[in-house]
Amino acid sequence: MLRVGFTSWGRPDHFAFAQHRGSDVLHTGSALVCDIVERSGACCCSDCARCPTQARHQAWFEIHLETALHVIYDTEEARATRVDFFYDDDQAIAAGRRKTVWASEVKHIHSEADFCSFVCATHDTSLVRQLQQHLAQSTKTKFYGLSGCWMSAGWDHVCVIASHPHGQPKKITVGRLTNERELSPLHRYFIYSVDTCPGSSGARGAVIELSKGKRSSRFSMRLLPPHSSRLGSREINVSSASVAGYAQPEIAGLLENIRFNPMWLNSAIW
């Protein structure tokens, strides 16, 4: 989960919270961990930044994340953002499972696509090991259940999003990918019927697809761009352009027929 504690003076008028420019009004969002890079030299995390250079940790890690641009607009906002990892349930804080790191810098943005990549710095090797284990596990996704159940329900493009609505612990919602549209020759965005709320922005969804062959069927999964409630202002439940809005789910009685291994949700999206 992202807790953004400052609104940049540079935030555009058409972005959420633009009216709070220059203030510390809190807004929240979600993000995806994409990579972890080991660094050497003086650590630049928020704790070490207060120490003399010679007193800083000399081995540290840079955590790369992606979110929606309207959640974190620039480095000024990033430096006021707390990134909460493993905020999975109501007991996470009391049990000490939630771990927090301050963001440090925005690396790349695409304004039209509502996309932002940023980094955190940390010398917490325990946190890094946890993240690395989960990232590795996310590549071993498996799906269970009879493909006939999926096909008979018309669910050949199931969409799943893990996010932090209203700054709450992680929630997993399920719907369906309903459309794909072209924003430009290089950018596409996706429309889906998955429940989301403010705070879900920046979360990464995944589409679980069923390809039906002559003799057998197989499942596959692809990640979507960050969720954006800004792109396409009249539409809800929309992703940012592939570099989302809000609707009602269509799955009320279908969940009992859908079984999948949720490890990738625990490992890849926070």
Q: How confident is the model at residue 182 (pLDDT cuts 50, 70, 90)?
A: confident
Residue predicted with more confidence, 193 or 43: 43
The pLDDT mean for the chain works out to 79
DSSP secondary structure letter of residue 174 = E
- At residue 219, does pLDDT exceed 70? no
Domain boundaries, the chain: 2-139, 144-268
CATH class of the domain defined by 144-268: mainly beta
Residue whose pair of structure tokens reads 């940790």 in the numeric block: 57
Task: Using a pLDDT cut of 90, give the percent of the chain over it.
Answer: 44
Q: How confident is the model at residue 238 (pLDDT cuts 50, 70, 90)?
A: low
Q: How confident is the model at residue 52 (pLDDT cuts 50, 70, 90)?
A: confident
Strand 59-67 relative to strand 32-40: parallel, antiparallel, unpaired? antiparallel
Residue predicted with more confidence, 156 or 223: 223
Q: Mean pLDDT highest for which of 45-49, 93-97, 137-141?
A: 93-97
- At residue 224, does pLDDT exceed 90? no
Which residues have C-beta within 8 Å of that of residue 214, sequence separation ≥ 6? none
pTM: 0.80
Distances (CA, A) of 10 to 76, 94, 192, 221: 9, 37, 31, 37
Q: How confident is the model at residue 245 (pLDDT cuts 50, 70, 90)?
A: very low
Nearest to 4 by CA among 89, 56, 75: 75
pLDDT digits (tens, 9 = 90+) for 77-120: 999 999 999 999 999 999 999 999 999 999 999 888 889 999 99
- At residue 148, does pLDDT exceed 60? no
Q: Is 168 exposed, middle or buried (0-12, 13-18, 19+ CB in 10 A)?
A: middle
The stretch 64-69 carries a mean pLDDT of 95
Helix (H) or strand (E) holding 268: helix 263-268
CA-CA distance, 107 to 5, in Å (whole number)?
19
